[in-house]
């Protein structure tokens, strides 16, 4: 579960580094792609990592349509399905039919730039299938959150 890690950026960089070394690809030409995994008991992937434990705000996951959907009334957060973070060459990344949903460590949605060059809160953009334009979800403040305030 990504929300249990102290330094999520390092964890995701490690996943890319393992792939780059395995296939002898320069790491600066790589990126991550994302695939929602319906079965939480799926076997461990050969490449990349499965991430479970995130929350969705401003939207929900529709398992029938297999895409991001409108939140239910009066429901602020829902559990995000398991996502396969897949390392690949940046040139091979497909950007059609997806919403680049921001992933934050906390609900605060702001952070400062750490000495590592990473934000203290923003992790990255996660591409999730969507039948609606990105602007639709941006106006709703749709985001993934690693840890909710209790």
Distance CA 149, CA 62 (A): 24
| Antiparallel, parallel or unpaired: β 143-145 and 98-104 | parallel
Return per-residue pLDDT of the chain as tens, 150 residues. Answer: 555 556 788 888 899 999 999 999 999 999 999 999 999 999 999 999 999 999 999 999 999 999 999 999 999 999 999 999 999 999 999 899 999 999 998 888 777 877 777 778 888 999 999 999 999 999 999 999 998 886
| Burial of 83 (C-beta count, 10 Å sphere; 0-12/13-18/19+) | buried
> 115-119 contacts: CB < 8 A, separation 24 or more?
116/9, 118/9
Sign of the C-alpha dihedral, residues 93, 83, 117, 27? Answer: negative
DSSP state of 102: E
pLDDT of residue 4: 55
pLDDT of residue 140: 96
Quote the pTM value: 0.90
Task: Evaluate whether 117 touches 2 at the Cβ level (below 8 Å).
Answer: no
pLDDT of residue 8: 82
pLDDT of residue 149: 82
- Domain ranges for the chain, please list them: 2-145
| CATH number of the 2-145 domain | 3.10.490.20
């Amino acid at each position: 579960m990504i929300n249990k890690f102290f330094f999520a950026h390092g964890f995701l960089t490690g996943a890319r580094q393992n792939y780059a070394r395995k296939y002898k690809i320069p790491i600066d030409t790589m990126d991550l792609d994302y695939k929602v995994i319906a079965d939480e008991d799926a076997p461990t992937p050969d490449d990349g990592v499965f991430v479970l434990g995130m929350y969705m705000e401003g939207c929900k996951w529709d398992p029938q349509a297999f895409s991001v959907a409108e939140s239910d009334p009066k429901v602020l957060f829902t559990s995000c399905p398991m996502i396969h973070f897949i390392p690949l060459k940046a040139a091979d990344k497909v950007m059609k039919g997806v919403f680049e949903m921001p992933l934050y460590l906390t609900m605060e949605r702001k952070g400062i730039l750490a000495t590592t060059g990473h934000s203290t809160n923003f992790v990255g953009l996660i591409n999730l299938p969507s039948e609606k334009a990105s602007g639709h979800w941006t106006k709703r403040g749709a985001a993934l959150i690693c840890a909710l305030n209790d």
